[in-house]
């Protein structure tokens, strides 16, 4: 089994707000992230796939295909977007880094054929990242 | 759904690698320049990984302010700009980065209640790093 990681970057804005919380609760739990006009990050995404090396191609996965899937499923939908308003998953879920990693996993996993998705890592800043392995 | 959150912190400290159980020659042979009697310092990068189910109402494994507050209070305020050798944590052990990993892991394990501690990872310099996750194997 060989693991291959592809990196991508995207920039997006978001804010944290749960309509079921009071204004005070939202402010207490989410702090500055609750500013309704949003704020932005340069996200770095690392997608790791795993699989056996194909004896003919020498590849775990065709990197061009992986790149195309990443662009189509994730970057086209999220790059330079306001996540709360423009990405369907976040109309009902708060676009935390945790939920972003889960949403990206759910977008990619069904589209990958040759290799299996192993990990989605999302850096919100160089000092903060979340890993998701598809665990329930 | 279970996710793993990693937060990175920086602190600076000095240390000297020297074991009272060894002779002066053994210390020099074992620790080399790190045995210099006056010590030396590093900018340590500490990564703390916690895990847990993503809470639906907040979208979080744990609130970052709780993790940051704990690390600031219990770790950075105690270790930043200090000489590790004189701290009680290293009264009976050599302040290698291996032992630093264990000390920091134990502080988090004992006191941090908001999520499950997976591991701590230290970069002593850009060229070396150390990871510790208690007695079990490293998480993923």
Where along chain B do its domains lie? 2-132
Nearest Cα residue to A41 out of A79, A5, A76, A8? A79
**pLDDT score of A75 more than 70:** yes
The answer for A 21-50 residues in CB contact with B (under 8 A) is 21, 29-31
Cα distances (Å, whole numbers) of residue A15 to A19, A82, A91, B31, B56: 12, 9, 12, 50, 16
The reply to whether residue B7 touches residue A130, judged by beta carbons under 8 angstroms, is: no
Residues of B with a Cβ under 8 Å from any A Cβ are 1-9, 54, 57-61, 63-65, 140
A vs B, Cβ pairs < 8 A, gives: 62
> What is the architecture of the domain spanning B2-132?
2-Layer Sandwich (3.30)
**pLDDT score of B140 more than 70:** no
8 A C-beta contact, residue B140 and residue A131: yes
Average pLDDT, chain A: 96
Q: Is A33 a catalytic residue?
A: yes
Give the confidence band of B139 by pLDDT, cuts at 50, 70, 90.
low
**pLDDT score of A109 more than 90:** yes
Work out the average pLDDT over A23-48: 97
Q: In chain A, which ranges are continuous DSSP H helix?
A: 23-30, 63-70, 76-78, 83-86, 97-108
> Which chain A residues touch B8 with a CB distance below 8 Å?
126-128
Q: Let me know if B42 is exposed, middle or buried by CB neighbors in 10 A (0-12, 13-18, 19+).
A: middle
Q: Which run of H or of E encompasses A31?
A: none
The reply to whether residue B8 touches residue A128, judged by beta carbons under 8 angstroms, is: yes
Q: Nearest CB to A102: which of B3, B57, B60?
A: B3
- The fraction of chain B above a pLDDT of 70, given in percent, is 99
Q: Is A80 a catalytic residue?
A: yes
Work out the average pLDDT over A38-57: 96
8 A C-beta contact, residue B100 and residue B84: yes
Question: How close B84 gets to chain A, by Cα (Å)?
Answer: 24
Structural domains in chain A? 6-132 (3.30.479.10)
Annotated active-site residue in A9, A25, A52, A80: A80
**pLDDT score of A45 more than 80:** yes
**pLDDT score of A76 more than 70:** yes
**pLDDT score of A126 more than 80:** yes
């Amino acid at each position: 089994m060989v693991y291959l990681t592809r990196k991508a970057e995207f920039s997006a804005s978001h804010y944290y707000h749960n309509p079921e919380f009071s204004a005070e609760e939202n402010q207490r739990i989410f702090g500055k992230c609750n500013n309704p006009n949003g704020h932005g990050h340069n996200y770095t995404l690392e997608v790791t796939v795993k699989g056996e090396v194909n004896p003919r191609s020498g590849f775990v996965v065709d990197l061009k295909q992986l790149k195309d899937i990443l662009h189509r499923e994730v970057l086209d939908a999220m790059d330079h977007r306001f996540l709360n308003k423009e990405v369907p998953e976040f109309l009902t879920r708060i676009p935390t880094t945790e939920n972003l990693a889960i949403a990206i996993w759910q977008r990619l996993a069904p589209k990958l054929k040759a290799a299996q998705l192993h990990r989605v890592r999302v850096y919100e800043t160089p000092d903060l990242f979340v890993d998701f392995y598809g665990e329930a | 759904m279970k996710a793993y959150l990693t937060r990175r912190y920086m602190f600076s400290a000095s240390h000297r690698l020297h074991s009272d159980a060894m002779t002066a020659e053994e210390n020099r042979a074992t620790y080399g320049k790190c045995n210099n009697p006056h010590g030396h310092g590093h900018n340590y990068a500490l990564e703390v990984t916690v895990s847990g189910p993503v809470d639906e109402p907040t979208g979080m494994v744990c609130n970052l302010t709780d993790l940051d507050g704990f690390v600031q209070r219990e770790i950075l305020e105690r270790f930043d700009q200090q000489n590790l050798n004189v701290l009680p944590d290293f009264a009976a052990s050599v302040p290698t980065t291996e032992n630093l990993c264990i000390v920091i892991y134990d502080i988090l394990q004992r006191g941090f209640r908001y999520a499950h501690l997976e591991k701590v990872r230290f970069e002593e310099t850009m060229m070396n790093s150390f990871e510790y996750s208690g007695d079990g194997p490293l998480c993923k």
